Structure 1
Amino acid sequence: MDPPPEDGYPSAWDVPQFKEMRVQMRAMTLLLVIRPSLRKQLAELKKEMHRIVGSVDRFYELVGDRHWVFHGSLNLERLVTALDTGSCDEVEKELIEQYQDAKLMRFALVRAKAVPELRPYAALLDSAWRDYQEERYYAVVLTLLPILDGFVATVGDNRRGLHTREEHELVVWNSMISHHKGLAATQQSFRKSFNTLNEEPLHELYRNGILHGNFTNYDNVIVASKAWNRLFTLLDWREALIESAKPKAVERTLKESFAKLADTREMRRQMDDWQPRASSVADDGEDVVMGEPVVQAVVALLDAWRAGNYGKLADYLYETMKKPSRGAYIGQVRSRFAVTALEGFTIDAVEMRGSGCGHVKTTLMFAGKQHSSELRMLHVDAAGHVSPEGDERASWHTIQTSPEAIIGREWPPVT
């Protein structure tokens, strides 16, 4: 694995995943001599690759100097339309509109709050999103800036916040955020020091200047949106650090690489098409509520708890910390749940709050007493990533991993 250049990749074409595809595509071109039937497929693959990689370079060409970063949570289809205009202002407008899109942000925030290092900030992230929707942009900025520092400080072992990081520390292997105009290029402005008071409108995420009181006029949607952009970029940074630390896997074929890209596009389409829904036994009937896969998972979870089947119960718990061996983990689950015997339960209602997030309201019976309890469920794959419902590689798990976290719990409504 070749380390990335300290200043970042000169072009998106230099990012290893795209560089590898290009090499494989050249090799595939040679096959046309003996397999002319591949010509149409190859042309489609080339077109798609140039669309994706070219979009990254055009993005940085147009708004890189404004310190926006291309990250994986952006909706590429919508972004391409803006990029095709060739206008910096249109691209910036589209970026802001994506952060204003409740559907896109709901999924992005579920993903963010599922990250172990961001879990302690979940309530603050919800508050920042509420402030953003209600146009309290100064509050968004003042909430997210400390979170950026705290999050980066907990990734790795050196306990250093974002404001202490050198540019080269933010260049990671095989990621679009490591373009030479990407995340690392934002650090100079983020860390810049100021000594005088400035009351002019501010459109940059000047961390030091804002937190030290040098700027007074940052209450606007551009600065607040850049704070969200930086947060989601840092999620990609964290993932890239984890991936780069893994042993090198067997190289994917070109077909497999594009299958992954196609899979990502399909996931995006599912997210875009998804609509929130809710049903209750009282209003819609038991069959409707029980027809929801997330409810079926909750029933299986509660049945396992009631039966004392802690091995099965363990399969429905979403742990943010690394699990021990399966036997040891089942023992941990037993020690948590065995002291609180579930006598019975009923399912009352379900609310799908995101394409990978559902809330199931139940009534639980303990020692002859009923407790209204709400379970928050995430649809996660084997790697722990939140996936849209319908993705057969993922399943439903609760983030409430102890009786104390479940019994009597009520979650704030979606705003």
Structure 2
Amino acid sequence: MTYNNNKKPIKDNPSTKKLKEEMDSMNSLITFGKFLGVFKKEEFKELSGLRNQLEILTTLPDDFNGFFSKHGWIAYEGFNVEVMKKAIEYAKQGKFKEAEEEILNYYIEDNIRFIISRGASIEAFRARRQLSLNALDEYVEKHYYACVPLLLMVIDGLVNDISKETGFFAEKTDLTSWDSIAGHYSGLTALKQIFNSSRKKTNTEQITMPYRNGIMHGRDLNFDNIYVAAKCWCCLAAVLDWGRDIMNGKKTAPEPQPKKTFMQQLGDLKDSFDKLEQSNKFKDRIKNWKPRSLVIESNQYKNINSSKLQAFSPEKFAVEFLEYWQMRNYGYMAKYAYLPIKSKQNSQVAREMRIIFKNKELINYEITSINDEAPAITQIGISLEIYYQGIQLKKQTVFRMLIQGDNVINGDNDVQWVIVSGYQLIEYLKLD
């Protein structure tokens, strides 16, 4: 049995509804707290502002699909929120050309490489990863005539393997999934209907939509443009998010949970007050926090052992990651990677690490800069000497480190730092 959302909007997805319920609880907290005189005026404004922001976020995917799905763009879990917001703002002003340019400009090489790297956790995509990279090479060179057919093949076969039934373009293929943005009826299902349109006559006029039948059957001849190609990348990214949902058991809805009693709701309200008190204390710590003033001398951190670095510092975790790279311990390397998907297993990330690093030997490393950007974020500049395909390469990268946990900041003990970005570029070393 597949998930049937009865054409409810995305904002009625279970996770989004839960967020809405939390917002409603926050509203009760604000009202009750104001009555008791618990909140200062500025705190009341902060909580009200947060509630407004959350309200906007819950409606973004519906608004985006409402404006753009018929033009070949859809929202999905991994899509950039700011891009969606700006595109929607332009669309509401009647500036559709500017809105579409905003979306189009998102699909640049770096962002697409990130989409491909995230796909490594899906077994069905790993077999098609190289084809996707080939398509990207053609995209960067503006050879859209070669890029588009490759992506249409990748998308079709990928859905076939994930669904275990039929490909993306088959009429009976079910592309919905429970509690999903990409798998919402206004997402991939709507996109499939457009891309799968009947194209029975030869057409030499330029198209801006990747009509599969017209392109693959030689009827739409003038498809060689960035709009068609970028919409294929958008579709592939959404399919990968849908695929992760299917892998994580979200094809069908779980058993409904019983509603909370009035006493349980009161308990939740008390918990909210307790969290608010902790939050106020944490805000004081944030105000008093100062970034470190570090001067990096030449060779000071070259091949330094992690045991010689300050305990629980971001640079210590960065060097530990490099040490595990030298030992080819991909399982431990995976523990240092930021996981935006909570349900992703360490074994899946370890496979990603193996794909990225298995043919690259780390010879030397050196920390060249340490920049405490915020209480929870540090940028670590690193120089790497890597042996790859018989050549020793010197590359520069920046590890963006993020602290894990609630109410913790740089300088605290017993904390964990993870790498958000910086290591992914190792996958795409070029022998230049």
User: TM-score range with shorter-chain normalisation?
Assistant: 0.5 to 0.7
Residue 364 of structure 2 aligns to a residue in which SS? strand
Cα 1:112–1:292 change in 2 (3 A) is: farther
Counterpart pick for 2:98 among 90, 100, 105: 90
Residue 186 of structure 2 aligns to a residue in which SS? coil
Provide Cα deviations, 1:281-323, integer angstroms capped at 9, x if missing partner. Answer: xxx75835657966643433544x7xxxxxx6753479x9996
Cα 1:414–1:147 change in 2 (3 A) is: farther
Match of 1:383 in 2: none
Match of 1:27 in 2: 25
Q: Provide the rounded CA distance (Å) in 1 between the counterparts of 2:431 and 2:236.
A: 21
* One-letter identity of the residue aligned with 1:236: D
Deviation at 1:32, TM superposition (A): 4.0
Residue 68 of structure 1 aligns to a residue in which SS? coil
Cα 1:68–1:243 change in 2 (3 A) is: same
Match of 1:274 in 2: none
Contact 1:347 1:363 in 2 (8 A): no
Q: Provide the rounded CA distance (Å) in 1 between the counterparts of 2:134 and 2:200.
A: 31
Q: Aligned pair 1:129/2:127, yes or no?
A: no
Residue 65 of structure 1 aligns to a residue in which SS? helix
Give the structure-2-normalised TM-score. 0.62
Q: Aligned pair 1:202/2:219, yes or no?
A: no
Deviation at 1:72, TM superposition (A): 2.6
Match of 1:187 in 2: 192
Match of 1:48 in 2: 53
Count of equivalent residues = 331
Q: Aligned pair 1:164/2:164, yes or no?
A: no
Q: Provide the rounded CA distance (Å) in 1 between the counterparts of 2:362 and 2:15.
A: 49
Counterparts in 2 of 1:66-105, with a 5 A limit? 66-85=71-90, 86=92, 87-100=95-108, 102-105=109-112
Q: Provide the rounded CA distance (Å) in 2 between the counterparts of 1:412 and 1:83.
A: 37
* One-letter identity of the residue aligned with 2:169: H
Cα 1:46–1:109 change in 2 (3 A) is: same
Provide Cα deviations, 1:253-278, integer angstroms capped at 9, x if missing partner. Answer: 8999xx9xxxxxxxxxxxxxxxxxxx
* One-letter identity of the residue aligned with 1:63: F
Instruction: Give the gaps of 5 or more residues in structure 2.
Output: 260-267, 276-297, 305-314, 336-343, 349-353, 369-378, 405-415, 420-425
- How large is the RMSD of aligned CA atoms in angstroms? 4.7
Q: Aligned pair 1:300/2:312, yes or no?
A: no
Counterpart pick for 2:151 among 139, 144, 147: 144
Of 28-37 and 144-153, more deviation after overlay is shown by 28-37
Residue 287 of structure 1 aligns to a residue in which SS? coil
Q: Provide the rounded CA distance (Å) in 2 between the counterparts of 1:410 and 1:179.
A: 32
Provide Cα deviations, 1:72-119, integer angstroms capped at 9, x if missing partner. Answer: 33221233123212233222111110002x343332232134433222
Q: Provide the rounded CA distance (Å) in 2 between the counterparts of 1:203 and 1:72.
A: 24
Residue 170 of structure 1 aligns to a residue in which SS? coil
Deviation at 1:166, TM superposition (A): 3.0
Cα 1:410–1:32 change in 2 (3 A) is: closer
Contact 1:138 1:220 in 2 (8 A): yes
* One-letter identity of the residue aligned with 2:5: P
Counterparts in 2 of 1:13-412, with a 5 A limit? 13-36=11-34, 37=39, 39-85=44-90, 86=92, 87-100=95-108, 102-156=109-163, 158-164=164-170, 166=172, 169-241=174-246, 242-244=248-250, 285=299, 287-288=301-302, 296-303=320-327, 314-316=331-333, 346-347=363-364, 361-362=385-386, 389-390=401-402, 392=404, 412=429
Cα 1:224–1:188 change in 2 (3 A) is: same
Cα 1:391–1:72 change in 2 (3 A) is: farther
Cα 1:316–1:56 change in 2 (3 A) is: closer
Contact 2:84 2:103 in 1 (8 A): yes
Provide Cα deviations, 1:338-358, integer angstroms capped at 9, x if missing partner. Answer: xxxxxx98437899xxx99x9
Give the structure-1-normalised TM-score. 0.64
